């Protein structure tokens, strides 16, 4: 059952998929349509899942699931991963690689491999104040409070002296 992402309870589980590039306006419209269809049909052992999505900065797909109603199961999580993998193939984009880092450069969102990000930190091209995206958050409350944070307040801090 599709609901507005912003109405999900704070303890709702989230999964964040970052793209290695920005989506075009046409791609965004198509992806939103596909997300709506997927979520409307997303179930756990035959029971509807109350879920929503958000797309941020034309490159982050965030799925949220109200687990107070029905919890995600292995099969339902597999279905969501399979759906994301289909998007990867269809749009020739990487959404599953967790070893890459996105951060803000002004209003622009940059995307680097972890090794490049480390090198930039060593070269002082980024600082503790650089806004990074902590895609390891697990629920809506964490997403709202700790997703977009200075590097010093995220796991990224270990790379910045």
> Both tokens of residue 5?
């992402």
User: What are the domain boundaries of the chain?
Assistant: 5-91, 100-159
Those residues whose C-beta lies under 8 Å from the C-beta of residue 6, and which sit 6 or more positions away, are 52, 54
Q: What is the pLDDT of residues 79-119, one digit of tens each?
A: 999 999 999 999 999 999 888 999 998 889 999 999 999 99
Q: Across the chain, where does the E strand assignment appear?
A: 13-18, 43-44, 47-48, 51-56, 60-65, 100-105, 108-113, 131-133, 148-150
- For 46-70, how does the pLDDT look when each residue is reduced to its tens digit (9 = 90+)? 778 899 999 999 999 999 999 888 8
10 Å CB burial of residue 26 (0-12, 13-18, 19+) is exposed
pTM: 0.93
The answer, yes or no, to whether residue 161 has pLDDT greater than 80, is: no
- With 80 as the cut, is the pLDDT of residue 32 above it? yes
Instruction: Give pLDDT, residue 99.
Output: 83
Q: What is the pLDDT of residue 109?
A: 94
């Amino acid at each position: 059952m599709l609901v507005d992402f912003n109405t999900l309870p704070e303890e709702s589980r989230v999964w964040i998929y970052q793209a290695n590039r920005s989506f075009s306006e046409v791609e965004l419209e198509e992806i939103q349509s596909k997300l709506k269809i997927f979520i409307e049909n997303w179930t756990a052992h035959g029971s509807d899942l109350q879920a929503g999505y958000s797309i941020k900065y034309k490159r982050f797909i965030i799925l949220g699931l109200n687990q107070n109603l029905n919890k995600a199961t292995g099969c339902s999580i597999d279905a969501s991963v399979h759906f994301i993998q289909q998007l990867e193939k269809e749009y020739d984009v990487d959404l599953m690689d967790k070893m890459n880092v996105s951060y803000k450069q002004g209003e622009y969102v940059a995307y680097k491999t972890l090794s490049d990000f480390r090198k930039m930190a060593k070269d002082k091209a980024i600082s503790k104040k650089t806004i990074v995206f902590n895609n390891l958050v697990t629920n809506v409350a964490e997403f709202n409070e700790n997703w977009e944070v200075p590097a010093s307040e995220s796991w990224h801090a270990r790379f910045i002296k």
